[in-house]
Amino acid sequence: MKIGIVGVTGRMGRAVAKLVIENEITDISCGVTRAEDALVGKDIGEVLGLDKEGVNISADFDELFQNSDVVIDFSTPEITLKCAGLAAKYNKILVSGTTGLKEDEKQKLEKFAQNAVIIWSSNMSIGVNLLFNLVEEVAGILHDNYDVEILEMHHNQKVDAPSGTALSLGEAVAKGRGLDFGEVSRKTRDGIIGKRDKNEIGFASLRGGDVIGDHTVIFAGIGERIEISHKASNRDIYARGAVRAAIWSQGKANGLYSMRNVISSKTASSISN
């Protein structure tokens, strides 16, 4: 399987590239970066400190999709939508872990997915996607007898808040309780805000240091509190999830999928991370 990578010279791009090269099932076909990047034209293997791959870093997105079966993308919403359009144009597969997509941008992904296989998740970690499933189930069991608060912490360079993963956790809670997430989410609190509504899903965001990503969902009841957490200690978990999704995507019908689809598949569970 030929895999191309968006942002191949960045931290996530490098992590994905190394896993693609090391995996027996996959080959790296192309990697793109900004046109002004001094690494354009360099061999990807050499840039990663590995043997030469015979594949040079490019700035041409059309070349990326033409030469690849699957493209893996951890970038920005604008670039992700550009990639989705190219995936539809060339009938290729896109795996994206880009965060910060707004609702209208997600709707555009769905439209492009009519002509391509697109796998998008706010978090590509296998563990986090198991957390989504657990949180949805627990929320359904506990109903509104427990208040729900979601706490997330990330490094000091992260630009969006709450994190996309935190919002997805909130959506899982709302789905488990049969609520409209847009109506019950509470992303900020300041000043005299009144008593807490029983259906409210609250968020708190912390930023500092080099924290990769910590998420905790708190179910606070009378006399007890249940906390379900995931803490990332290495960015490779996202890269491994993306490569696993790429392998899973083969032979799938056009449509928009998530990592929850990937981890629920018996076929996916048999693929080595």
Question: 155 an active-site residue?
Answer: no
**By three-state DSSP, how is residue 139 classified?**
helix
CB 72, CB 3: distance < 8 Å = yes
**By three-state DSSP, how is residue 79 classified?**
helix
From the candidates 158, 175, 215, 252, which is the catalytic residue? 158
**By three-state DSSP, how is residue 183 classified?**
helix
From the candidates 92, 154, 215, 230, which is the catalytic residue? 154
Distances (CA, A) of 168 to 16, 51, 186, 215, 250: 23, 39, 14, 11, 26
Q: How many CB atoms lie within 10 A of CB 57?
A: 23
**By three-state DSSP, how is residue 135 classified?**
helix
CA distance 1 to 18: 15
CA distance 31 to 116: 20
Residue 200 contacts by C-beta under 8 Å, 6 or more apart in sequence? Answer: 147, 148, 184, 185, 186
Question: 215 an active-site residue?
Answer: no
Kind plus residue range of the DSSP H or E element containing 31: strand 27-32
CB 162, CB 205: distance < 8 Å = yes
- Which residues are catalytic, by number? 154, 158
